[in-house]
Structure 1
Amino acid sequence: MNREFRLNLYLSYSHALSDIMHIVFGLTLYFVSEDLNLSILSMGLLYNTASIFRGISGFASGILSDKSNFLYWIILFAGLSSVGSWIISYSSDLNMFSIGVIVLGIGSGIYHPVGTSAITKYTLNTAKSLGYHSLGGAIGIALAPWFFINISSNYSWELSYFIFGILTLPIILIYIDKEIRNLKSDLKPPTEKSIKEINYKKVTPIFIYASLKDFSISGLFLMLAVFVNELTKESISDISDVDFYTSLISSVIILFGGIGAFAGGYLDNLKSRKKILLYSCLIAGIFFIVTTNNLYFTIIVFTVISFLISSNDPSLGNWLGNTMPKNLHGTSFAFMYGLGQIIGSFSGSLAGVLLNYFSTTIYFRTLSLPLIAASIVVLYLYKNTENKKNIASK
């Protein structure tokens, strides 16, 4: 295996576990809320808080990774995530559970800006590498419903977190690979002049687009398992194992996100990028609007949404990567990820309020608004950010 393939393999596994950490709260929500006697509003506010910590963590680690070996941050991500998972597994009250969720949020927040910037810095075929990276993440979150829901249902939600903490530890073995440990950028260090040439007017629309998208995708995955579980109970009266079917349906929906990301990695180029960014969010937003209480129609709608939202991940990564100099990729991805997590965290508060006063379908329909707004941002503010140096290097 060549160095780039191994790097993609390491980071795809890390991405899989990191993405699981982003949705595990929603997957175990109805088990934990029932066991600890917590309302959806309380759980939503806790999710909001933990995600803010995740965003701050991602912001800090991304900036610092530009000034140090990115592997140190990958190892810290694995360590804190394992500790957070184990604290949750031993929780017997809200206080301990909250501490564990926040520690897990801090740990999981480290990965995305560090891992994604490592790909844009150290891979030759960046679009395909981002596609593999997104596929790895989607495979992880596709397996997550089956793993967490079934273990929580048949054994306990505490055990599911304990096992997950063990699965996170092997990530630290990446440090053993000497070639990866000594990885250097294939570009010369940028000059002061190149840093001054950053066009922040071009960067701002990227951050806005990513934040709007993250709000909707965070909201979808937060309440996906709960909604599917409710609809399955209502639609199939003689079903013997609701939780198993909930995990299966959720996994299929999320898996199509991985397929979308993989396809997006192959389709992304300078000519197609704006169309991918525009139409993926616009059509996904329209599909959110038609959410109903029909189980089978909901499966189709959410599957399409999952595919479309994830299909623009490689395009979004390249849009930002081509806008910023490589020495600032960690910082730029930190801004994008950190803002996305902080803004996306408020989908938890939104869920608590709308489910308390209205309905789950109203909540999902509301998630259409950020996606439609994101498509408007691309329509009017997207610029071709591929600079001449990048074109020449290819």
Structure 2
Amino acid sequence: MAQSGSKTVMPVLLAISLVHMLNDSMQAVVPALYPILEESLNLSMVQIGLIGFMLNMTSSVMQPVVGAYSDKRTLPNMLPFGMGLSLIGMVGLAFAPHFWMLLCAVVFIGLGSAIFHPEGSRVVYFAAGGKRGFAQSVYQVGGNAGSTLGPLMTALVFVHLGQIGAIWGTLFAGFAIAVLLGLLPWYKRKLKEWEMEKSRRSAASANGSTVMERMSHPRVKFAMGMLVFLVFARSWYHSGIGSFYQFYLKADYGLTTSQAQIPVFLFLAAGVLGTFFGGVLADRFGLKNMIVFSIAGASPLALLLPHLPLFWVYPVIAVLGFIILSGFSVSVVYAQFLMPANVGMASGLTTGLAFGMGAIGGVALGQAIDSFGISEVMFAASFFPLVGLFALLLPSDRQK
């Protein structure tokens, strides 16, 4: 177990954050290709939603499974193995001649990500020391920075090279594998220490050494269920902006494909800053307070966004991205706080299963856009952050 008084291992933290950026950059290639694939393969919005669904379901639903398994068995070599699967997926994505081959390539990318995320979060847990919120934020900043590259890749690469431009993603995978191989000796040593500490804590568990261990089991289950639901709702809205807002900008504001990437990029880039500062502020003000602020606090801007003139879209969507993603890393730390003996599963449930459930939202939004129109659906999606008010029901993480 990570000790609150131990020192943060910054080289390891920065290295795993870099790999997180490379991993999520490969995932970002998929939605970045949507405008290109829509034209080259003549895809419908439902098919685009299905691509996002397959990516998120494979990369998300498998995360708690991998996390639960690795909580019981040490699997450090799974880190480079998962990245190898992503490399295969990137090759398939670049050369897929039709929709079904595209889905197969996306599955490989998703599985690679599913293997990486729980193990990556465990590396962060070991390297965090006493700065849990800060460490998780550094890690998530890497991932969000990778996701932010999607719109830039569309504007600078895919508009000019087309689908074949995805082959550049293999360089991301190769570099990530090299970094992970360098981290393995340290990680294996920490896993051995962790197993010994788990055995000692298991013997002393009857004494109830932490706040949540003294709480009743049903209350912990309720808190975990509510947290997954909140992340689920946030991922629906995030999917709407990340996948479909560019089509809304083209339809309602008359922007070109390249121009439509700018507001999406601002949303994601501001989210990177929000992710970092959210974790830092959570160490000071509490995990629950930041979760409430990040989801419910974004509601007014989300409701306002569909009604703004183009000039105001840029600053508002940037502030919106900062606020709503300020609770991204905090949710993972809160889940680990609820389940201190099952770090992998806790991370998988918040960054995995909840986002997999959110992937259903991508399919639903795509179907709704085909049926009712992009403007109507983006207006309806603006109400999603309101469910963040339920975060008030979460138990406090601060010891009374």
Alignment partners' CA distance in 2, 1:246 and 1:71: 41
Instruction: Indicate how the Cα distance of structure 1 residues 15 and 142 shifts in structure 2: closer, same or farther if over 3 A, else same.
Output: same
Number of residue-to-residue matches in the alignment: 376
Deviation at 1:36, TM superposition (A): 0.7
Deviation at 1:311, TM superposition (A): 0.5
Instruction: Indicate how the Cα distance of structure 1 residues 217 and 6 shifts in structure 2: closer, same or farther if over 3 A, else same.
Output: same
Alignment partners' CA distance in 1, 2:168 and 2:291: 37
Task: Please report the TM-score for the alignment, with normalisation by the length of structure 2.
Answer: 0.85
Instruction: Report 1:71-150 matches (<5 A).
Output: 71-124=76-129, 125-150=131-156
* 2:390 counterpart of 1:383: no
- Candidates 41, 51, 55, aligned match of 1:36: 41
- Candidates 171, 174, 187, aligned match of 1:169: 174
Equivalent residues of 1:19, 1:141 under 8 A apart:
yes
Instruction: Indicate how the Cα distance of structure 1 residues 347 and 329 shifts in structure 2: closer, same or farther if over 3 A, else same.
Output: same
* 2:367 counterpart of 1:337: no
Equivalent residues of 1:257, 1:310 under 8 A apart:
yes
Alignment partners' CA distance in 2, 1:250 and 1:44: 17
Equivalent residue of 1:311, what SS? coil
Q: Which amino acid aligns with 1:221?
A: G
Q: Which amino acid aligns with 1:362?
A: E
Alignment partners' CA distance in 2, 1:20 and 1:207: 24
Counterpart for residue 391 of structure 1: none
Alignment partners' CA distance in 2, 1:245 and 1:163: 23
* 2:188 counterpart of 1:188: no
Instruction: Indicate how the Cα distance of structure 1 residues 148 and 193 shifts in structure 2: closer, same or farther if over 3 A, else same.
Output: farther
Equivalent residues of 1:66, 1:330 under 8 A apart:
yes
Alignment partners' CA distance in 2, 1:56 and 1:323: 20
Q: Which amino acid aligns with 2:205?
A: S
Equivalent residues of 2:148, 2:265 under 8 A apart:
yes
Counterpart for residue 274 of structure 1: 288
Counterpart for residue 226 of structure 1: 247
Deviation at 1:82, TM superposition (A): 0.9
Equivalent residues of 1:59, 1:334 under 8 A apart:
yes
Instruction: Indicate how the Cα distance of structure 1 residues 376 and 251 shifts in structure 2: closer, same or farther if over 3 A, else same.
Output: closer
Q: Which amino acid aligns with 2:190?
A: L
Instruction: Indicate how the Cα distance of structure 1 residues 103 and 222 shifts in structure 2: closer, same or farther if over 3 A, else same.
Output: same
Q: 1:37-82: CA deviations, max 9, x gaps?
A: 1111222123223322222321222122223445323212211111
Equivalent residues of 1:228, 1:246 under 8 A apart:
yes
Counterpart for residue 299 of structure 1: 314
Alignment partners' CA distance in 2, 1:54 and 1:99: 13
Counterpart for residue 358 of structure 1: 372
Deviation at 1:163, TM superposition (A): 0.7
Q: Which amino acid aligns with 1:318?
A: V
Q: Which amino acid aligns with 2:78?
A: W
Counterpart for residue 186 of structure 2: 179
% identical equivalent positions: 18
Deviation at 1:213, TM superposition (A): 1.7
Alignment partners' CA distance in 2, 1:70 and 1:149: 39
Equivalent residue of 1:268, what SS? helix
Equivalent residues of 1:57, 1:107 under 8 A apart:
no
Instruction: Indicate how the Cα distance of structure 1 residues 295 and 359 shifts in structure 2: closer, same or farther if over 3 A, else same.
Output: farther
Alignment partners' CA distance in 2, 1:330 and 1:256: 28
Equivalent residues of 2:31, 2:150 under 8 A apart:
no
Counterpart for residue 158 of structure 1: 164
Counterpart for residue 18 of structure 2: 13
* 2:52 counterpart of 1:47: yes
Task: Please report the TM-score for the alignment, with normalisation by the length of structure 1.
Answer: 0.86
Q: Which amino acid aligns with 1:56?
A: V
Equivalent residues of 1:215, 1:344 under 8 A apart:
yes
Alignment partners' CA distance in 2, 1:109 and 1:149: 28
Equivalent residues of 1:323, 1:387 under 8 A apart:
no
Q: Which amino acid aligns with 2:152?
A: W
Alignment partners' CA distance in 2, 1:149 and 1:80: 27
Alignment partners' CA distance in 1, 2:29 and 2:386: 27
Q: Which amino acid aligns with 1:384?
A: S
Q: Which amino acid aligns with 2:303?
A: I
Equivalent residues of 2:118, 2:347 under 8 A apart:
yes
Unaligned runs of 5+ in 2: 1-6
Deviation at 1:3, TM superposition (A): 8.0
* 2:263 counterpart of 1:254: no
